[in-house]
Amino acid sequence: MHDAQSSDPIKMGWMQGFPPAESQRVMVRDASAYRFPQIRWSFSHYQELYPTRPIDRGSSPTQQLSLNLRDDLDAICFKPIGDNEPMRWDQSLEKNFTDGIVVLHRGVRIYERYFGALSERQHHLCASVTKSFVGTLAAWLIHDGRLDPKEPVIRWIPELSASGFAQATLEQVVHMTTAIRYDETYANPEADIWKHLKAGGVFPRLANDQGPNCFTDYLQTVVQSGVHGQQFAYRTPNTDVLGWVLKRVSNQSLSEMIAERIWQPMGAERDAAIQIDSIGFEFAGGGLLAVLRDLARFGEMMRLDGQLGGRQIIPKAVIRAIRKGGEQAKFANAGYTTLPGWSYGFMWWHAHDEHEVFTARGVHGQTIYIDPKAEMVIARFASHPIAANAHIDPHSLPAYRALAEHLLRES
Amino acid sequence: MHDAQSSDPIKMGWMQGFPPAESQRVMVRDASAYRFPQIRWSFSHYQELYPTRPIDRGSSPTQQLSLNLRDDLDAICFKPIGDNEPMRWDQSLEKNFTDGIVVLHRGVRIYERYFGALSERQHHLCASVTKSFVGTLAAWLIHDGRLDPKEPVIRWIPELSASGFAQATLEQVVHMTTAIRYDETYANPEADIWKHLKAGGVFPRLANDQGPNCFTDYLQTVVQSGVHGQQFAYRTPNTDVLGWVLKRVSNQSLSEMIAERIWQPMGAERDAAIQIDSIGFEFAGGGLLAVLRDLARFGEMMRLDGQLGGRQIIPKAVIRAIRKGGEQAKFANAGYTTLPGWSYGFMWWHAHDEHEVFTARGVHGQTIYIDPKAEMVIARFASHPIAANAHIDPHSLPAYRALAEHLLRES
């Protein structure tokens, strides 16, 4: 079962037929929508499972990404992390349960493939790639002087005064150096992430569940554990708090902010959407839905210091601030064996390598990978059986690097 | 409370703030999304409340509706049904809790207004206007010889063999002359419509609800009451059965059929969407979401015998079959006092008057009104406190007729 071929969602017939047979249903109410192999279907059909708020692309023309597909990339070989057997690029896509991948070189689509249940017209769940959008908006409002990173977040969200965020500064939240008690091990059914997702309606609640029933109620239950500011610790509630701050300061929803500041000016080709809870609160930590090419556009704009199609979409100083990254020393002990020397800053992952790579990452393999030196951007959607990217990086990061070097060699 | 001004959803602050105050929340889980005055907000934000399936407009250019707004229409006077006080056109909009209205004359937008929580970019619930799309698709498949109206519906849907539809022909279903036990009185909390909507997830289920939990399970519980084919009786399950037949025969979802056959060829300006239940079954009886102008485009295409922008979208013979209407004699005793001499055929309402008016109608005031003689099409969204159009027609139908006569006089 655990390979891309045998879990192919079309072959498995998920949600085919009118109505689909009971054994082929993918639903929220029985939690099957969040199980493998059903996620191979559900991640490409999220609007059909959950309430979502549209992110309007507006009525301007699409910023076209020109196409020059190359057939030499499939044969590029790389050495997976922890494995001496070389692997080909095209094999890596299957190994990673890829649903879609676009590679841009100098803004031109040189590679584009769709698998599983995804097409170029369909939204896919971005999962925690969402966080990098939220972090970018935060960097922008800080740059504009509308947010002071040294202030405590309860300046804007007094509702958190009795929570573990009471002593946290915006800076600690935005770089995830808060010390909160929160187990984000997806493989553990008792982990806090599941309570969090149940509050937000992502995961079904039992009828007798007395826990919080929306994101904002959940965030108020999070407690502190340790000293804020000392270590990076990847905890999704930070992003939900950050999204809350952004909304309150701007008096706009994230969907409005993303639409007005990013999606419309960058000429996105389709509307996007964001998952919301039962009271309309957006899932800043992981709810963005978008088509793959629009993620690639966003990545290309980040690569070009905020420009796309000759227009400055995001101020260059904002991108520069993001690309400084976080503190490597605070990241070093966080246990990311596939990311040596990396950091997390403004909710982006920074390699601090000679290619100046920085990435957005989401569970089950969602990625925007930006390699400025190689002038390359990769956007990938996936539905890997394992949530943690540590299991996906070994056949992704070296593949991306091999592609970058291939492109650099011919320059 | 019961006027458009005092129930204005923006003034009432529904779902404003991050998060909205408890008293200002509009939710599915407490059924507030289906209550007045909350529907003044929810009907314009349906995707934020329910799972929906996108109806893809494709990437072709929008079929523009040219604009020539006229300021003489607001002062047009008409006599409401059952009232000798004349009323002005602009007053009628408020009286009817209009959320949006477009009037096309010979395809040109001569009037366009948005109220309440609606804008030109937002979807609004079409409610039973959806049925006219489903009826149009049925007429089309009959015309193509893929459906025989004389066959029993269980030929395609054997799951209904033990239901009240067991003896019904497709023709009876498509013109709603089946005799089934089904109370569709929205004002009665015990009416069958609520069980139906609970099965489909439109209305929240109590935790101990043992009833059907999807549309297709519900339809199998509907029983016969009387003799099929004798009288018109407006019953939403007919459309859900018809949608089921269309899907099984075409092996396409309604969203695919509407996208490929209507939305894309007619140059819709935005994607549409359709509400689905927990197993992905589309609510054929009332789940379409669309922007107002796209409803107007569809109406204009119906007026032009299936053409729009010089292209034949739907075969002329299909439109001709629809415009024959249903049997007036079977309609006469159904109790529609505001619709004397009308009929219901292919899920459209037919006036059989000298203007050859035919309309699509949905609860709370959703309308496409087509007046071929006056070369006029009106698309209206509304959120009237009362579901039944009998309460809305008195200030709508004579207003539309007055507008038509105004346009005819100057021709």
According to DSSP, residue B225 is labeled -
* Interface-testing mutation among A10, A14, A18, with chain B (most B C-beta atoms within 10 A): A18
pTM: 0.97
Residue B410 pLDDT grade (very low, low, confident, very high; cuts 50, 70, 90): confident
Q: CA of B26: which chain A residue's CA is closest?
A: A279
Can you read off the two tokens belonging to residue B314? 């739907």
Residues B96, B395: contact at Cβ < 8 Å?
yes
Residues A100, A380: contact at Cβ < 8 Å?
yes
Kindly report, residue by residue over A210-255, the tens digit of the pLDDT.
Answer: 899 999 999 999 999 999 999 999 999 999 999 999 999 999 999 9
Inter-chain residue contact B51 with A49, CB threshold 8 Å? yes
What pLDDT is recorded for position A291? 98
Q: Distance of alpha carbon B379 from its chain centroid, rounded?
A: 11
What pLDDT is recorded for position A1? 53
pLDDT at A12 > cutoff 80: yes
Selection from A147, A180, A153 nearest residue A168 by Cα: A153
Non-local CB neighbours of A178 within 8 Å, separated by 6+ positions: A164, A165, A168, A172, A224, A228, A229, A233, A235, A238
Q: Does A42 touch chain B (CB under 8 A)?
A: no
pLDDT at B33 > cutoff 70: yes
Separation between Cα atoms, residue A36 and residue A52, nearest integer Å:
22
Kindly report, residue by residue over A177-205, the tens digit of the pLDDT.
Answer: 999 999 988 888 888 999 999 999 999 88
What pLDDT is recorded for position A186? 82
Residues B283, B275: contact at Cβ < 8 Å?
yes
Separation between Cα atoms, residue B24 and residue A6, nearest integer Å:
48
Residue B187 pLDDT grade (very low, low, confident, very high; cuts 50, 70, 90): confident
Residues B114, B399: contact at Cβ < 8 Å?
no
According to DSSP, residue A224 is labeled B
Residue ranges per structural domain of chain B? 9-147+240-409
Q: Could you give the 3-state DSSP secondary structure of residue B244?
A: helix
Kindly report, residue by residue over A232-242, the tens digit of the pLDDT.
Answer: 999 999 999 99
Inter-chain residue contact B19 with A253, CB threshold 8 Å? no
Separation between Cα atoms, residue A400 and residue A395, nearest integer Å:
9
* B216 chain-A contacts, CB cut-off 8 A: 19
In total, chain B counts a number of residues equal to: 411
Q: Does A274 touch chain B (CB under 8 A)?
A: no
For B56, which of A20, A51, A121 is closest by C-beta distance?
Answer: A121
Kindly report, residue by residue over A263-275, the tens digit of the pLDDT.
Answer: 999 999 999 999 9
Residue A15 pLDDT grade (very low, low, confident, very high; cuts 50, 70, 90): very high
In total, chain A counts a number of residues equal to: 411
pLDDT at A138 > cutoff 70: yes
Separation between Cα atoms, residue A168 and residue A173, nearest integer Å:
7
Kindly report, residue by residue over B104-121, the tens digit of the pLDDT.
Answer: 999 999 999 999 999 999
Give me the residue label for tokens 């492109």. A407
What angle (nearest 5°) sits at the alpha carbon of residue B332, between those of residues B328 and B336?
115
What pLDDT is recorded for position A167? 98
* Per-residue three-class SS string for B341-405: CCEEECCEEECCCCCCCEEEEEHHHEEEEEECCCCEEEEEEECCCCCCHHHCHHHCHHHHHHHHH
Give the mean model confidence (pLDDT) for residues B385-391.
94
What pLDDT is recorded for position B317? 98
Kindly report, residue by residue over B123-180, the tens digit of the pLDDT.
Answer: 999 999 999 999 999 999 999 999 999 999 999 999 999 999 999 999 999 999 999 9
How high is the ipTM of this complex?
Answer: 0.96
Q: Could you give the 3-state DSSP secondary structure of residue B362?
A: strand
Q: Distance of alpha carbon B122 from its chain centroid, rounded?
A: 17
Q: Distance of alpha carbon B162 from its chain centroid, rounded?
A: 29
What pLDDT is recorded for position B186? 82
What pLDDT is recorded for position B1? 53
Selection from B302, B294, B299 nearest residue B270 by Cα: B294
Separation between Cα atoms, residue A96 and residue A77, nearest integer Å:
15
Kindly report, residue by residue over A169-178, the tens digit of the pLDDT.
Answer: 999 999 999 9
What pLDDT is recorded for position A35? 95
According to DSSP, residue A260 is labeled I
Non-local CB neighbours of B28 within 8 Å, separated by 6+ positions: A51, A278, B49, B50, B204
Q: CA of B201: which chain A residue's CA is closest?
A: A29
In single-letter form, the type of residue at position B242 comes to L
Give the mean model confidence (pLDDT) for residues A78-85.
95
Q: CA of A24: which chain B residue's CA is closest?
A: B279
Helix, strand, coil distribution of chain A in percent, nearest 5: 30, 15, 50
Kindly report, residue by residue over B42-95, the tens digit of the pLDDT.
Answer: 999 999 999 999 999 999 999 999 999 999 999 999 999 999 899 999 999 999
Q: Does B254 touch chain A (CB under 8 A)?
A: no
Separation between Cα atoms, residue A382 and residue A387, nearest integer Å:
10
Residue B281 pLDDT grade (very low, low, confident, very high; cuts 50, 70, 90): very high
In single-letter form, the type of residue at position A46 comes to Y
Residue A14 pLDDT grade (very low, low, confident, very high; cuts 50, 70, 90): very high
How many helices (DSSP H) and strands (DSSP E) are in chain A?
A: 13, 15
Selection from A216, A235, A217, A214 nearest residue A168 by Cα: A235
Least confident span in A185-194, A291-300, B77-86, B391-400: A185-194
Residues A136, A358: contact at Cβ < 8 Å?
no
* A18 chain-B contacts, CB cut-off 8 A: 244, 247-248, 253, 281
Domain B9-147+240-409 has CATH 3.40.710.10: yes
Q: Does A214 touch chain B (CB under 8 A)?
A: yes
Question: Which alpha helices (H) appear in B6-149, and where do they start and end?
Answer: 9-12, 39-42, 89-95, 129-143
What pLDDT is recorded for position B185? 87
What residues pair up with B381 in beta bridges, in sequence order?
B100
Residues B232, B346: contact at Cβ < 8 Å?
no
Strands A311-312 and A307-308: antiparallel
What angle (nearest 5°) sits at the alpha carbon of residue A352, between those of residues A350 and A357?
60
Q: CA of B156: which chain A residue's CA is closest?
A: A18
